[in-house]
């Protein structure tokens, strides 16, 4: 995994932010060999947790990609408006000086923290416990993407291989 992704995950964990990693980074953490640049997260949207997240984003030099106040993430109504009126799937934070440093917060209910936490598993990165979406849930989400992109088809195939290898009886 790239240094900027490790840096982001460790900074969020060290700041005490409650989140679940999804998307390509979760696939990589499950063992899929692929390149991914952004960090997709389901964030616990409790105001105190969002506040910790926003401080961490600021400390990392990441800021909202769009001209919308990041504190709007603390308002369930504002988030509903972003999804309903703008068709937003994520709220993005980016380092405009180093654009590879990019974090997307899932906004849709089907990718909410509560939904993804229910299937989450813990892995260790840099000695810190990180919650990632479970492989079955990740496969379910990937299969529902419309239209399926080439990278999603590859992820599905590779995640299925990882899952099969984990299910093989040892001995």
Domain parsing of the chain, residue ranges: 3-163
Nearest to 60 by CA among 78, 39, 34, 35: 39
- The whole-number pLDDT of residue 36 equals 86
Whole-model pTM?
A: 0.93
Calpha distance 83→120 (Å, rounded): 24
How many other C-beta atoms can be found within 10 angstroms of the C-beta atom of residue 155? 25
| pLDDT above 80 (res 90) | yes
* Closest to 138 measured CA to CA, from 103, 108, 111: 111
Residues 155/24, Cβ–Cβ less than 8 Å: yes
**CATH placement of domain 3-163:** 3.30.460.40
Quote the pLDDT of residue 2.
Answer: 78
Give the model confidence (pLDDT) of 112-125 as tens digits: 999 999 999 999 99
For residue 98, the tally of other CB atoms under 10 A from its CB is: 11
Give me the pLDDT at residue 170, please. 66
pLDDT over 70 (residue 153): yes
What DSSP state is assigned to residue 148? P
Q: What is the mean pLDDT of residues 63-88?
A: 95
């Amino acid at each position: 995994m790239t240094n900027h992704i490790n840096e982001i995950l460790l900074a969020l964990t060290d700041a005490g932010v409650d989140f679940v990693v999804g998307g390509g980074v979760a696939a990589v953490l499950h063992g899929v060999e692929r390149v991914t640049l952004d960090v997709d997260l389901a964030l616990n949207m409790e105001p105190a947790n969002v506040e910790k997240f926003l401080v961490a984003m600021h400390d990392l030099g990441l800021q909202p990609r769009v001209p919308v106040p990041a504190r709007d993430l603390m308002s369930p109504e504002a988030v509903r408006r972003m999804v309903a009126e703008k068709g937003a799937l994520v709220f993005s934070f980016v380092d405009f000086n180093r654009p590879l440093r990019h974090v997307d917060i899932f906004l849709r209910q089907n990718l909410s923290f509560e939904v993804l936490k229910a299937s989450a598993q813990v892995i260790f990165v840099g000695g810190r416990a990180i919650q990632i979406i479970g492989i079955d849930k990740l496969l379910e989400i990937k299969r529902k993407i419309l239209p399926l992109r080439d990278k999603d088809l590859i992820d599905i195939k590779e995640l299925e291989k990882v899952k099969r290898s984990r299910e093989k009886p040892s001995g």
